[in-house]
């Protein structure tokens, strides 16, 4: 095997340095108001390696329709695609116009792959007909996806990290929901969330209380090798597919009271003394 010469080593290091400096130079700032202005014209968003300053409020973008006396709906038809971006302000699809609440309906894809959110994230009551992808996202403040409805085949939150509270309460997914290798440092709640496809939390970490109570999953559910460091609640949930908790680590008690398993459930490698099961 030939050893790497000093000259070749220096050339390689210069190429790496040039590549890194080029990436840093491309990490320019874009104000959220510019993005909002672009989307108001019906143009899709495709932004990579940028710092987004200001608040990104999707309720400022599309046309508003009256749902009822107390609710407006904002329709966004173009694709929303962000990759490796940093959001300095809030990102929301849930707002108000005077005393009237506004929710957002995304007719195409909603993608924030590898993005970092330094402000609050709120997608409560949003409806999405395209793909939802928050894979490798980092949430520095609270993240809320309550009452979200997604009609796509797959929704991805794999490898995401939540530093504070993460809630996905009463959300519904027509397809599969992926949380592979996710990390939750704050309280996490998926209470009453429903999936028509698979639910996957393999290798995920929950460092505070985690709530999966009153969930419903029609497909198979996987929590293999997941780690739950505080009390975890699965009570009154209904699992219609195969359920696996193989080598899951419950450091405190896990509540499965009145939980329904229609098919087989696998607790191999789990400390059964931590399971509260009383149907």
Looking at the fold, whether 224 and 248 belong to one and the same domain comes out as yes
Q: Please say which residue of 140, 171, 188 terminates a domain.
A: 140
pLDDT tens track, the chain, 279 positions: 444 444 444 433 433 343 333 333 457 999 999 999 999 988 899 999 999 999 999 998 867 878 887 889 999 999 999 999 999 999 999 988 878 899 999 999 999 999 999 999 999 999 999 999 999 999 999 999 999 999 999 999 999 999 999 999 999 999 999 999 999 999 999 999 999 999 999 999 999 999 999 999 999 999 999 999 999 999 999 999 999 999 999 999 999 999 999 999 999 999 999 999 976
Looking at the fold, whether 53 and 174 belong to one and the same domain comes out as no
Looking at the fold, whether 183 and 249 belong to one and the same domain comes out as yes
Number of domains in the chain: 2
Q: Rounded to an integer, what distance in angstroms lies between the CA atom of residue 243 and that of residue 198? A: 10
Looking at the fold, whether 134 and 171 belong to one and the same domain comes out as no
Kindly list the strands in the beta sheet with 254-255, ordered across the sheet, starting from the edge strand earlier in the chain.
56-57, 91-92, 121-122, 143-144, 166-167, 188-189, 210-211, 232-233, 254-255, 275-276
The reply to whether 16 falls in a domain is: no
Looking at the fold, whether 227 and 112 belong to one and the same domain comes out as no
The reply to whether 12 falls in a domain is: no
2-28: b (≥16 Cβ within 10 Å) or e? eeeeeeeeeeeeeeeeeeeeeeeeeee
The reply to whether 64 falls in a domain is: yes
The reply to whether 15 falls in a domain is: no
Looking at the fold, whether 178 and 258 belong to one and the same domain comes out as yes
Looking at the fold, whether 202 and 265 belong to one and the same domain comes out as yes
Looking at the fold, whether 180 and 125 belong to one and the same domain comes out as no
The reply to whether 17 falls in a domain is: no
Q: Please say which residue of 81, 115, 140 terminates a domain.
A: 140
The reply to whether 145 falls in a domain is: no
- Residue 212's pLDDT is what? 98
Of the candidates 264, 254, 198, the one whose C-alpha atom is nearest the C-alpha of residue 226 is 254
Parallel/antiparallel/unpaired status of strands 221-222 and 199-200: parallel
Q: Please say which residue of 85, 106, 140 terminates a domain.
A: 140
The reply to whether 3 falls in a domain is: no
Looking at the fold, whether 223 and 129 belong to one and the same domain comes out as no
Looking at the fold, whether 181 and 135 belong to one and the same domain comes out as no
For 64, list phi and psi in degrees, rounded to 5: -100, 135
Looking at the fold, whether 95 and 174 belong to one and the same domain comes out as no
- Residue 33's pLDDT is what? 94
Whether residue 52 contacts residue 34, with contact meaning beta carbons closer than 8 Å, is answered with no
**What is the pTM for the complete model shown?**
0.88
Looking at the fold, whether 113 and 178 belong to one and the same domain comes out as no
The reply to whether 9 falls in a domain is: no
Q: Rounded to an integer, what distance in angstroms lies between the CA atom of residue 180 and that of residue 47? A: 25
Q: What is the DSSP code (8-state) at residue 32?
A: H
**Domain housing 68:** 25-140
Structure tokens at 64: 């508003």
């Amino acid at each position: 095997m030939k050893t790497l010469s000093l000259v070749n080593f220096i050339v390689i290091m210069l190429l790496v340095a040039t590549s890194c400096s080029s990436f840093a130079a491309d990490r320019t700032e874009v104000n959220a108001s510019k993005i909002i202005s672009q989307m108001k014209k019906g143009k899709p968003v495709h932004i990579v390696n940028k710092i987004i300053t200001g608040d990104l409020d999707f309720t400022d973008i599309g046309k508003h329709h009256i749902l009822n006396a107390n609710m407006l709906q904002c329709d966004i038809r173009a694709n929303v695609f962000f990759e490796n971006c940093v959001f300095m302000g809030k990102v929301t699809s849930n707002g108000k116009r005077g005393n009237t609440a506004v929710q957002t309906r995304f007719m195409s894809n909603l993608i924030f792959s590898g993005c970092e959110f330094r402000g609050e994230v709120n997608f409560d009551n949003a409806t999405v007909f395209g793909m939802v992808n928050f894979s490798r996202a980092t949430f520095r403040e609270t993240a809320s996806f309550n009452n979200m409805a997604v009609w796509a085949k797959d929704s991805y939150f794999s490898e995401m990290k939540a530093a504070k509270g993460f809630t996905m309460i009463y959300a519904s997914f027509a397809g599969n929901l992926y949380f592979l290798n996710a990390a939750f440092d704050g309280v996490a709640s998926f209470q009453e969330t429903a999936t028509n496809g698979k639910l996957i939390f393999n290798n995920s970490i929950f460092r505070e209380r985690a709530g999966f109570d009153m969930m419903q999953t029609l497909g198979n559910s996987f929590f293999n090798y997941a780690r739950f460091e505080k009390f975890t609640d699965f009570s009154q949930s209904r699992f219609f597919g195969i359920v696996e908790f193989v080598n899951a680590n419950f450091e405190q008690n896990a509540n499965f009271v009145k939980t329904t398993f229609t098919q087989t459930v696998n607790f191999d490698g789990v400390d059964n003394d931590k399971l509260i099961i009383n149907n």
